[in-house]
């Protein structure tokens, strides 16, 4: 089955950093790309980043480019989202999801339970 599990969310202050992790089942790992999207209460889903495999290529949303980075560990079947210089606007629940192409407009096919990131005092 396609299974994705996010972890690493926390309450942090502006300017601090977090690294989110997404562990993927073997079936999820077979998809062309795995992405991160986020959703805040009352707002629609927002694409954050995606990554392909063999070789790994990445795409980042304009709002996070230069601050966030996405990577993958093929042995652990884990996708990471390194989040630096966090801003209050980054507050949201973060999900990892499968995609058939790595693009900001590509549908999310399946996703996990998400992990909460809150930035503020």
pLDDT in tens, 70-101: 999 999 999 999 999 999 999 999 999 999 99
Query: Is the confidence at residue 43, as pLDDT, over 90?
Result: yes
State the virtual CA torsion across 89, 91, 93, 97 in degrees, nearest 10.
40
- Given pLDDT bands bounded at 50, 70 and 90, which one contains residue 55? confident
User: What per-residue confidence (pLDDT) applies to 121?
Assistant: 75
User: What pLDDT score does 22 carry?
Assistant: 97
* Virtual torsion, Cα 51, 14, 40, 72, nearest 10 deg: 20
C-beta separation of 96 from 35 below 8 A? yes
Tokens of 20: 């989110």
Is the pLDDT reported for residue 69 higher than 80? yes
Place of tokens 């690294």: 19
pLDDT digits (tens, 9 = 90+) for 100-113: 999 999 999 999 99
Burial class (CB in 10 A: 0-12, 13-18, 19+), 98: buried
Give residue 53's pLDDT. 87
Q: What is the mean pLDDT of the chain?
A: 96
Q: Is the dihedral of CA 103, 106, 111, 115 positive or negative?
A: positive
Residue 37 has what pLDDT? 98
Looking only at the bridges linking them, the beta strands covering 33-39 and 92-99 are antiparallel
Alpha-carbon span 115 to 109, nearest angstrom: 18
């Amino acid at each position: 089955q396609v299974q994705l599990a996010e972890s690493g969310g926390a309450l942090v202050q502006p300017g601090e950093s977090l690294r989110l992790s997404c562990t993927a089942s073997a079936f999820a790992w077979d998809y062309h790309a795995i992405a991160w999207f986020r959703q805040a209460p009352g707002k629609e889903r927002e694409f954050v980043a995606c990554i392909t495999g063999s070789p790994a290529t990445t795409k980042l949303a304009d709002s996070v480019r230069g601050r966030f980075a996405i990577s993958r560990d093929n042995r652990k079947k884990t996708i990471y989202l390194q989040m630096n210089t966090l801003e209050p606007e980054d507050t949201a629940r973060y999900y990892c999801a499968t995609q058939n192409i790595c693009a900001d407009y590509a549908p999310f096919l399946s996703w996990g339970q998400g992990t909460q990131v809150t930035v503020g005092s």
